[in-house]
Amino acid sequence: MKGIVFTEFLELVEDKFGLEMVDKIISSSELESEGVYTSVGTYSFSEMLQLLQHLSENTGISIDNLLLVYAEHFFGVIEKSYPGLLATYKDPIEMISSIENHIHVEVRKIYPDAELPTFEVIEKTDKYLIMDYTSSRAMHHFGLGLMNKTFEHFNSTATIELEKIKEDGTKVRFVINKN
């Protein structure tokens, strides 16, 4: 998992819960990196799982809800760092449906060894999108948070339903209805 995901996560934890919480979740975890991350480094996904688990235990917030909030924070990073990418699109459905064939292609140019989920468009109209998310990491709520912020970015709203195709969350269907 790319280091930027860790550095931004810890920044969010510090902003929301304080530096003490950052220290607490790092020291509670068994991290090969010892909790030292660079944005361009690559780290084990198990480290993110431990940090999320310990943050959840210390705050009483579910991992899914933590991922949702984190994704909303991370969208802001994308807005600041890659405004040209967002400017390519005029509509949230258009942008979300292009994750696999455009956005992830651009991510791989910057981070060639990034391990990204796959998004398969099942059905698409101007106001409706069905996509299947597949990832061994089951971070579908991170995807949901990014989708929510995408609609907000375009001053639009949508109803997004998440249906687990596999109970462990490694395959999920997103059904998006633009309001």
State the pLDDT at residue 102. 86
96 within some domain: yes
Whether residue 56 is found in the same domain as residue 96:
no
Whether residue 94 is found in the same domain as residue 152:
yes
Strand partners, 131: 121, 174
Average pLDDT over residues 141-165: 96
The confidence band for 155, taking pLDDT boundaries of 50, 70 and 90, is very high
77 within some domain: no
DSSP 125-161: -SSEEEEEEE-TT--HHHHHHHHHHHHHHTT--EEEE
The confidence band for 2, taking pLDDT boundaries of 50, 70 and 90, is confident
User: Could you report the per-residue pLDDT of 46-80, keeping only the tens digit for each?
Assistant: 999 999 999 999 999 999 999 999 999 999 998 99
How confident is the prediction for the chain on average, in pLDDT?
93
The length of the chain, given as a count of residues:
179
Question: What is the extent of the structural domain holding 51?
Answer: 3-61
33 pLDDT exceeds 90? yes
Whether residue 173 is found in the same domain as residue 102:
yes
Strand partners, 62: none
Whether residue 101 is found in the same domain as residue 158:
yes
Look up the CATH number of the domain holding residue 163.
3.90.1520.10
Whether residue 39 is found in the same domain as residue 107:
no
User: Is the backbone of residue 166 left (phi > 0), alpha (psi -120 to 50) or beta?
Assistant: beta
93 within some domain: yes
Whether residue 15 is found in the same domain as residue 89:
no
Percent of the chain predicted with pLDDT > 70: 100
User: Could you report the per-residue pLDDT of 70-111, keeping only the tens digit for each?
Assistant: 999 999 998 998 888 889 999 999 999 999 888 888 888 877
76 within some domain: no
24 within some domain: yes
For the chain, how many structural domains are there in total? 2
Whether residue 159 is found in the same domain as residue 109:
yes
170 pLDDT exceeds 90? yes
Closest CA to 51 of 8, 111, 94, 85: 8
79 within some domain: no
State the pLDDT at residue 110. 77
162 pLDDT exceeds 80? yes
3-state secondary structure 90-131: CCHHHHHHCHHHHHHHHHHHHCCCCCCCEEEEEEECCCEEEE
State the pLDDT at residue 39. 87
Burial 134-151 (b: 16+ CB within 10 A, else e): ebeebbbbbbbbbbbbbb
Whether residue 171 is found in the same domain as residue 88:
yes
Average pLDDT over residues 20-35: 96
State the pLDDT at residue 52. 96
